[in-house]
A and B are shown apart, each in its own frame.
Chain A
C-alpha cells in the first residue's frame, strides 16, 4: 500500500458557502495554465448586449448585495443563457442577465463577473497551489444550499432542488449512520461553529441524533488531544453574533459575509490539524464549497447518472422537470495532506456525492443501498485496499512532505 493511504486514519471535510471556482481560484490560471480558471476569452452578455469580461475586482464584502439568486430557475438561466427550447445547449452565458433581474441595474449586474486576485486570498490560493486542486468539482444540483449539502451527507437530496425542509426517505442512510453502525464501529462527527450558528442539518440529524454534533471549539480540542473521529464534517459560522468570546464574524463566505473571515476560518482548520504531528500525517482535509451562489463560472456542468428521484416542473420553477441528471455549477475544491505532491491538479469530475462515496469506500469498503448518484460518483481518496491505481491515488508520495505552509492564525 502507498504510505499515504496506509497512514490515513481521518477524513475531514470543510464545506464553505456560495462561491464559484472562477471567482475564488480563477486567478491561478496565471500561475499555472493547467488550472482551468480565468482567461481573456471569457465573457457574458449584459442586458444591453455588451460583452462583460471577468475582472479581478472582487471585494471582500459589500459588492454582492443583494445576494445573487441561486435558486433553481436562476441557475437554469445562468447555465443556459435564457434558452428554454427542448434542444438547448448549456453555454454559461446567463450570469449577468440573472443578476440584472434582481436590481435592474446594468452596472451592478456586471459585478457577478468579478473574481479575486491571487494575493487577496492568501489561504485558499496557497492551499490550492501547495496541494491538490480540483478542476472539475461541481455542486450536485444547479440549485441552492440545502439540497446540495444533502448530497454531502446522504449522496442524494431525496428529490429536492430547493431550501425547504428535507426529510430523509428510506433506504438511504447518512454517512454518519453508516459509520457509527458499522462492524467494526467507526466514529463520525459533524461540527457546527457554535449553538448560535448551529447547523444546516437540523431536520434529520440535529433533532434526531444530537450526539453526532460538536462545536468548532470541540473540533480544535479534538485535534489537539488526538481525539478526532474517523470522519469529521465542519460547518463555518453562518452569522454575525455575540458570544462569551466577543464579536463572532460570519466565516461562511456567503455573500455578503466577509470573505477574509472565511480565509481565517479555513486557515484555522488547517492549522488545528497540522499542529498535531500525528494527526497531520494521518488526515486528509477536503475544503469545498456547497454551490456557486449565483457567481460566474465558465465551465459547463456535465451530465451525470440520473438519481432515482425526479423534481416536478412545479418544484423546479422552470416549467420543466429535473431528473438529477446534470450537475450544478463548478465550485472550489482542494484536498490537503502531506502525502500529496505540491501542485497536483485533478481534472476528473466530482460532485458532493463523492464525499459519502469516498468516505464509505475508504472506511467500509462498500455499503448498500446507496443512491445511484453516489454509487456512480468518483472517489477522491482511493479505497484502503490493494491494488491501488497509482494514476488515481492523490496521496502518492513515498515520503511525507515537510515543506507544507503555515499560516499566522
Chain B
C-alpha cells in the first residue's frame, strides 16, 4: 500500500489561548493533589490567576513533577528504613543466643 501523507498543522501553536473547561478541571484536580503534597513540594502558583494554556501548563508541569518527586522521596525513605531494620534485625539475631545462654 502506498505511503499516506499526513498534513502538518500550520500556525496552530498558541500558548496564549484561554484555558478551556478541560484544562480548568485538570488544574482543579491537580490543585487538590497539590494540597496533599509536603509543603516544601507545593508550588506558589495561585490557580485562580491562570488564564492561558501556557500558564496552565506551567502549573500542570510543576505539580505533576512534584507528585513524582514526592513519591520517589517516600520510596527512598522507605528503602532506608528497611535497610536500618534489616541491619538492626541482624544485630539482634547475633545477640539472641547469648541472651539465652545467660538465662
Check B38 for interface membership: any CB of A closer than 8 A: no
Which B19-55 residues sit within 8 Å CB-CB of chain A?
20-23, 25-26, 28-30, 32-33, 36, 53-54
Known contacts A163-B21, A240-B17, A249-B13; A409/B6 CB under 8 A = yes
User: Interface size on A (CB < 8 Å)?
Assistant: 53
Known contacts A163-B21, A242-B15; A210/B56 CB under 8 A = no
Let me know if B67 and A207 touch, CB within 8 A.
Answer: yes
Distance in Å: Cβ of B95 to nearest Cβ of chain A: 38
Among candidates B5, B12, B33, residue contacting A249 with C-beta atoms closer than 8 Å: B12
By a CB distance below 8 angstroms, the chain B residues around A250 are: 53
Q: Classify chain B: how many residues form its interface, as a range.
A: 35 or more
**Most central of A61, A250, A260 by chain B CB within 10 Å:** A250
Known contacts A198-B26, A238-B26, A239-B53; A407/B12 CB under 8 A = no
Distance in Å: Cβ of A289 to nearest Cβ of chain B: 13
Among candidates B6, B29, B58, residue contacting A165 with C-beta atoms closer than 8 Å: B29
By a CB distance below 8 angstroms, the chain B residues around A61 are: 9, 12
Check A247 for interface membership: any CB of B closer than 8 A: yes
Distance in Å: Cβ of B70 to nearest Cβ of chain A: 9
Distance in Å: Cβ of B100 to nearest Cβ of chain A: 40
Known contacts A195-B60, A247-B13, A260-B9; A406/B4 CB under 8 A = yes
Q: In the complex the two chains form, what is the Cα distance from A111 to B57 in whole Å?
A: 29
Q: In the complex the two chains form, what is the Cα distance from A219 to B54 in whole Å?
A: 24
Known contacts A202-B29, A238-B26; A197/B71 CB under 8 A = no
Check B93 for interface membership: any CB of A closer than 8 A: no
Beta-carbon contacts of A172-202 to B below 8 Å, as 1s and 0s? 0000000000000000000000111111101
Instruction: List 30 A–B pairs whose Cβ atoms lie within 8 Å, in order of A's numbering.
Output: A61-B9, A67-B21, A122-B4, A164-B25, A195-B68, A196-B58, A198-B26, A198-B63, A200-B25, A200-B29, A202-B33, A238-B22, A238-B23, A239-B56, A240-B14, A241-B61, A247-B13, A249-B12, A252-B22, A254-B20, A254-B22, A258-B9, A260-B9, A261-B12, A264-B6, A404-B1, A405-B4, A406-B3, A407-B3, A407-B6
The interface of chain B, by Cβ under 8 A from chain A, is: 1, 3-9, 12-15, 17, 20-23, 25-26, 28-30, 32-33, 36, 53-54, 56-58, 60-61, 63-65, 67-68, 71
